[in-house]
Amino acid sequence: MSASRTVICLLRNDLRLHDNEVFHWAQRNAEHIIPLYCFDPRHYQGTHNFNFPKTGPFRLLFLLDSVKDLRATLKKRGSTLLVRQGKPEDVVGDLIKQLGSVSAVAFHEEVASEEKTVEKKLKDICCQNKVKVQTFWGSTLYHRDDLPFRHIGGLPDVYTQFRKVVEGQGRVRPVLSTPEKVKSLPLGLEEGLIPTFEGLGQTEPVMDCRSAFPCRGGETEALDRLKHYFWDTNAVASYKETRNGMMGVDYSTKFSPWLALGCISPRYIYDQIKKYEAERTANQSTYWVIFELLWRDYFKFVGLKYGDRIFNINEGRTGVPFVDANMRELALTGFMSNRGRQNVASFLTKDLGLDWRLGAEWFEYLLVDHDVCSNYGNWLYSAGIGNDPRENRKFNMIKQGLDYDNNGDYVRQWVPELGGIKGGDVHTPWTLSNSALSHAKVLLNDTYPSPIVIAPEWSRHVNNKSSGPSSAKGKRGSSYTPRQHKDRGIDFYFSKKKGF
C-alpha cells in the first residue's frame, strides 16, 4: 500500500489503543488514519425472543464513557475518534464516497451471527468500491490461529480438555506496542457528537452506592483498575480465596466489563500477571486469573465452532431470598458476581424450568459486561445443554446461600424487607415461626413472598424451626412442580420495573 493512503479503523468491541492490531497495522500501512465508532441502531432494539432492550442503561453508560475516553486518548496523540450514529456498513460506505480515496477498512472480527452479518455487509461495500478489507483477531488471550487444533471443529467440547491442550501446547502472543503519535485524519471530516442517553431513547441510571462495580468505562479506567488490583493492593495474590465473594469491589478482578468492550486486552492482563509473578509473588491465585480468562477464551471459541447454534432453545420456570438479592443487584447496578450468576442460572433453568434464553436475554439487557459468547455459553452450560459434562448438576440455593453468604449480609443488603431477620435464617424465611417473623417485621406473602418453588434437597439445610406459616406449609416437602408457577415466575423475575 502506498504511503499516501487513508485507512478507516472501525472500532467495535476493541475500544483501546494498547495492544490493538487494527491501529498497529494502520500505523505501518497508512498516511492517514480515521478511527471510527458507530452507534449502531440495531444495538438499541429489542432482544431476539423476549424483546428486552438489547443494551440496558448500565452498559450504555459504560460504553459512552469508553467512547469518550478513547476520543480523549486519541486527541492526546494527535488524532481523534470519529463518532457516527448509524449502521457501520452505511457509515463506512458514506465515508468512502465522501473521501473518494480510502484505501482500506480495518477491523477486528467478531464471532456471533449479527456481528458476522455486519462484517459481510462491510466487505460487500468495500468490494463494490474497490477498497481493501483488513481483518484481525484480537479479543482472546490465545490467538485463534495459534490454537493447537487442526481446525476449529477439533475444539474439545469439555473445558478442561481445552485448557490442558492450550496450556501445554499453545502460546500467548506478546503485547503490541501503543503508538505514541497516531497518524492524523485527512482534512475536512466532522468529528461527530457522542450521543446522549436521551438521544438513544434511554434515561441515565443513578449509581447505587451498594454496587460491587462502581467503576466507569474506558481504557484509562481499565488500566487503573489493573494497577489497583495488582500493584497497589496485591489483591491478585489472594484472588483464589476471595473470588467467590459477593460484596465489595475487590473480591474479584472486575475486568469483565472492560474486556467485553475491549478497553483492556487479555494479553496485557496476562503480561502483567507474568510481571507480577516475577517481581512479587507467583501462587495459585495469580495462576487462577489466567485460568478464568481461559474460560472466556473457551466460550469465544465455542461460539466460533458452533456459530448460531449457541442461540438454540429449551423450555422451563421460579423464587428465594438468595436469588432475589442477586436479581435485584443486577437490575440496580448492572453487575452480579460469578457465584450469583451460576446460582441464578441454575435456579431459573433447573428449579423453575424456565427457558434459559429468557435468562440469557435478561442478562444481555442488563449486564454491564455483556459478552455474547460468555453469556450465552454460560447459560447453556448452566442449563446442562452446552459444554457441561455433568448435565444433571444443579445448585442447592439454600446450601449455596449459607456457604457464600453465611451470615446473610448480602441478602439483607439487597432485600431490605428481610432486614429484621438475623444471621443465615434470612435465606429461609418461610421456615421461621410466626413469632420470629413478626419480631423481624416480616409478613410472609405480604411484605415478602413465600417461595415460588421448594426443591426437595433444600430441606437438608433447613433447621426444623417451626411448621412454617400456613401459606407455605403445604409446599414443604411436596413434590416440586415448577411449571404451575410459570407466569408468576416470569413476572416476578423479569419485571421491567426496577426493584421487585
Cβ 360 to ligand FAD shortest distance, Å: 7
Cβ 413 to ligand FAD shortest distance, Å: 18
Cβ 254 to ligand FAD shortest distance, Å: 4
Beta strands in 59-101 (DSSP E): 82-85
3-state helix, strand, coil in the chain (%, to 5): 50, 5, 40
Selected from 146, 292, 417, 457, the binder of ligand FAD by CB under 6 A is 292
Residue 2, C-alpha cell as written in the block: 502506498
Which is closer to ligand FAD, CB of 39 or CB of 363? 363
**In whole angstroms, what separates CA 138 from the centre of its chain?**
17
Site for ligand FAD in 381-400 (CB under 6 A): 382
Site for ligand FAD in 198-217 (CB under 6 A): none
* Nearest-5° Cα angle at 230, 335 to 297: 55
Rounded distance, CA 432 to CA 416, Å? 17
Which is closer to ligand FAD, CB of 77 or CB of 144? 144
Identity of residue 177: S
**Binding to ligand FAD by residue 185, rule CB under 6 A?**
no
Stretch that binds ligand FAD, among 47-55, 59-67, 117-125, 371-379 (CB under 6 A): 371-379
**Binding to ligand FAD by residue 357, rule CB under 6 A?**
no
Q: Do residues 6 and 31 make contact, with C-beta atoms less than 8 angstroms apart?
A: yes
Half-sphere exposure of 221 (CA within 13 A, CB side): 24
Stretch that binds ligand FAD, among 53-61, 174-182, 290-298, 309-317 (CB under 6 A): 290-298
Identity of residue 246: M
Selected from 370, 412, 427, 485, the binder of ligand FAD by CB under 6 A is 370
The site map against ligand FAD for 408-427 (x = CB under 6 A) is: --------------------
Which is closer to ligand FAD, CB of 195 or CB of 257? 257
Number of residues forming the site for ligand FAD (CB under 6 A): 29
Selected from 378, 387, 396, 400, the binder of ligand FAD by CB under 6 A is 378
**Binding to ligand FAD by residue 79, rule CB under 6 A?**
no
Cβ 253 to ligand FAD shortest distance, Å: 3
Site for ligand FAD in 214-273 (CB under 6 A): 243, 252-256, 259-260
Cβ 258 to ligand FAD shortest distance, Å: 8
Annotate 238-267 with DSSP letters as a single string: GHHHHTT--SSSSSS---HHHHHHTSS-HH
Residue 166: which region, alpha, beta or left (left: phi > 0; alpha: psi -120 to 50)?
Answer: alpha
Is 33 strand, coil or helix? strand
Segments in 280-320 forming alpha helices (H): 284-306
Q: Do residues 249 and 221 make contact, with C-beta atoms less than 8 angstroms apart?
A: no
Q: CB under 8 Å to 153, separation ≥6 — which residues?
A: 305
**Binding to ligand FAD by residue 369, rule CB under 6 A?**
yes
Cβ 362 to ligand FAD shortest distance, Å: 10
Helix H or strand E encompassing 28: helix 21-29
* Nearest-5° Cα angle at 114, 108 to 120: 60
Which is closer to ligand FAD, CB of 334 or CB of 429? 334
Site for ligand FAD in 293-352 (CB under 6 A): 293, 295-296, 299, 337-338, 341-342, 345
**Binding to ligand FAD by residue 371, rule CB under 6 A?**
yes
Residue 68, C-alpha cell as written in the block: 469518550
Q: Do residues 5 and 134 make contact, with C-beta atoms less than 8 angstroms apart?
A: no
Residues in touch with ligand FAD (CB under 6 A): 243, 252-256, 259-260, 289, 292-293, 295-296, 299, 337-338, 341-342, 345, 363, 367, 369-371, 374-375, 378-379, 382
